[in-house]
Amino acid sequence: MNLAANTSTPHAVADLNLDPYWMPYTHNRYFKKHQPLDRMLVGAEGAYYTTVEGQRLFDCLSGLWCSSLGHRPAKIVEAVKNQLDRADYIPAFQMANPESFRLAERIADVAPADLNRVFFTNSGSEAVDTALKIALAYHRLKGDASRTRFIGREKGYHGVGFGGVSVGGMVANRKMFAAAMIPGVDHLPHTHNLKEMAFSKGLPTWGAHLADDLERIVALHDASTIAAVIVEPMQGSVGVVVPPVGYLKRLREICDKHGILLIFDEVITGFGRMGDWFGAQAFGVTPDLITFAKCVNNGTVPMGGVIARQGIYDMFMQGPDYAVEFFHGYTYSAHPLAVAAAHATLDILHEDEVPKRFATLAAKIENGAHALKGEPNVIDIRNCGAAAAIEMSPLAGQVGVRGLRVFEEALKRGMLLRFTGDTIAMAPPVVTTDAELDRMFSAVGDAIRAAG
């Protein structure tokens, strides 16, 4: 990249007015005060970002869990460019792009069991809200209109729509918006227990019994009021919280017993990272609905969706055939650029056997991450599929300060990590080499020690 020919040179960036942009999930005052040039990204290629200063940063989290194939694979870039030569936008209401049908078929082909009906959205947040609406409407159409309650999980992250925040369990996402929450939502206990699980490799052997709390919730509210349970198979955004052995299977059994739909939020776990196409297959548990986004098209163009069991879809297909069956959708549902990128992504996922390659990478990530046990202030290391997290104790009771320091020290060492509180997460792209993996873990260890 010729930065000299780019308007985003260090000098040009130094003159930027940072005030108008309200940055998402960012400490705006801290960022704008320090104006960090090492956080100004102007290029991406393979497993690396390029800063405005020309520094290469290894992408330790595949963008935001989305660029799992690495950045700008030639096949995806070409597919998007070719689509622009044909059409920039095609409406999805009462009209359709043929490639949208082909993409839905391809996604259904790799989804588990009879999950074979695909509704496209533009993000994981929209996918979650869509899944909640499908679940609610499904029960109403069945004649179970009293089933209006949703059950989420503490520490869960399901995006930032009001539906997703309501079923989510991250306090910082919820506390400002209590008045607008969906009424009647309850939450399962989370499965993050340092006393019983710290430094587990892969799935912890303790904790399957935590799923039985769903029976308590059913007894409290009565099954006839509950529409669906929604969980992430592996909780990524909160810092790679891993399901105990047998936990998801037990949730499935309880939902079946009481006629409750089970929704897997697979925005992070879908399309390969768990060593299979979806977490559902990796963990051997089939839900009724799956939400997806991110890796469906390698994060190239915003896209998400919901995969439903055929029986759920069929329940909507009643009444006169000229009537709209589901009053829901988005202007950019199945956007042609997103669809083109997704087709190219699926080509690569198949041709390069990416889920199998992630399974191989997963074993190396487990070894590298757990080798950091014993580093200063490290209180837990977790891994699941091709992802890992290192949790550290707070610095002088200030949650998040140590995580920020490790993040900044890692940048100095050419590593772009993701931190949430005092936990750092790593989920590098599938193109990562053994040497790059070694450098990543070595730099993380150095950053932890330097952060103090």
Residue 4, pLDDT score: 37
> Cα-atom radius of gyration of the chain, to the nearest Å?
22
In the chain, which segments carry CATH 3.40.640.10?
77-351
Residue 262, pLDDT score: 99
User: Three-state SS for 393?
Assistant: coil
Asked if residues 291 and 264 have their Cβ atoms less than 8 Å apart, the reply is yes
The one-letter amino acid at 162: F
The residue count for the chain: 452
| Beta strands 149-153; 186-188: pairing state | parallel
For the chain, the maximum distance between any two Cα atoms, rounded to a whole number of angstroms, is: 67
Angstrom distance (rounded) from CA 389 to CA 407: 13
DSSP string, 49-84: EEETTS-EEEETTHHHHT-TT-B--HHHHHHHHHHH
> What tens digit of pLDDT does each residue of 370-392 get?
999 999 999 999 999 999 999 99
What angle is formed at CA 393 by the lines to CA 245 and CA 368, rounded to 5 degrees? 55
CATH number 3.40.640.10 is the correct assignment for the domain at 77-351: yes
Residue 2, pLDDT score: 40
> What tens digit of pLDDT does each residue of 239-260 get?
999 999 999 999 999 999 999 9
Residue 10, pLDDT score: 74
Angstrom distance (rounded) from CA 219 to CA 27: 42
Secondary structure E strands in 205-270 = 226-231, 261-265
316 burial via Cβ count (<10 Å: 0-12, 13-18, 19+): middle
Asked if residues 264 and 279 have their Cβ atoms less than 8 Å apart, the reply is yes
Residue 7, pLDDT score: 55
User: Three-state SS for 342?
Assistant: helix
Angstrom distance (rounded) from CA 79 to CA 73: 10
CATH number of 3-65+353-451: 3.90.1150.10
Question: Up-side HSE of residue 121: CA atoms within 13 Å toward CB?
Answer: 22
Angstrom distance (rounded) from CA 345 to CA 337: 12
> What tens digit of pLDDT does each residue of 34-75 get?
988 999 999 999 999 999 999 999 999 999 999 999 999 999
Angstrom distance (rounded) from CA 64 to CA 426: 10
Angstrom distance (rounded) from CA 10 to CA 18: 14
| Per-residue pLDDT tens digits of the chain, which is 452 residues long | 343 345 567 767 778 999 999 999 999 999 999 988 999 999 999 999 999 999 999 999 999 999 999 999 999 999 999 999 999 999 999 999 999 999 999 999 999 999 999 999 999 999 999 999 999 999 999 999 999 999 999 999 999 999 999 999 999 999 999 999 999 999 999 999 999 999 999 999 999 999 999 999 999 999 999 999 999 999 999 999 999 999 999 999 999 999 999 999 999 999 999 999 999 999 999 999 999 999 999 999 999 999 999 999 999 999 999 999 999 999 999 999 999 999 999 999 999 999 999 999 999 999 999 999 999 999 999 999 999 999 999 999 899 999 999 999 999 999 999 999 999 999 999 999 999 999 999 999 999 999 98
| Beta strands 304-309; 115-121: pairing state | antiparallel
The token pair that represents 159 in the structure block: 């995006």
Angstrom distance (rounded) from CA 67 to CA 133: 28
CA 57 to chain centre: 22
Angstrom distance (rounded) from CA 81 to CA 257: 50
Angstrom distance (rounded) from CA 181 to CA 9: 44
Residues whose CB is less than 8 angstroms from the CB of residue 426 and which lie 6 or more positions away in sequence, other chains included: 60, 61, 365, 369, 387, 388, 389, 390, 417, 418, 440, 444
